[in-house]
Amino acid sequence: MALDPATEAVVQRATLTLAARRTTLIVAHGLAIAEHADRIVVLEHGTVVEDGAHTELLAAGGHYSRLWAAHTRLCSPEITQLQCIDA
């Protein structure tokens, strides 16, 4: 079940607040919350294809970087990252 962007933003803010200073595992299809993670593991067909921090994975130019580029194309400058519609 998909959430509308406003509800998703509320859920993501609550998740980030609850996860602060705790070890938290978040499994996400969308990327809006991923940039806030200390470590991101990218899976493709059940296999780890990339692992690292948001900035490291963007710099690597691999799977995550391409997914992030597609995600950010859906975001307009008028809305915050947490309100973006996930790709």
* DSSP structure string for 33-86: TGGG-S-EEEEETTEEEEEE-HHHHHHHTSHHHHHHHHHHHT--TTS-GGGSPP
pLDDT of residue 57: 96
Whether residue 78 is predicted with pLDDT greater than 80 in this model: the reply is no
pLDDT digits (tens, 9 = 90+) for 24-34: 888 887 787 88
Residue 48 lies in a domain: yes
Measured CA to CA, the distance from residue 22 to residue 70 in angstroms comes to 30
26-67 per-position pLDDT tens digit: 888 778 788 888 999 999 999 999 999 999 999 999 999 999
Overall number of domains in the chain: 1
17 domain residue, yes or no:
no
Q: Tell me phi and psi for residue 23, to 5 degrees.
A: -80, 120
Q: Pick 3 or 57 by higher pLDDT.
A: 57
Residues comprising the chain, all counted = 87
- Domain contains 21: no
Q: Tell me, yes or no, whether 23 lies in a domain.
A: no
User: Is residue 81 assigned to a domain?
Assistant: yes
Instruction: Output the pLDDT for position 87.
Output: 39
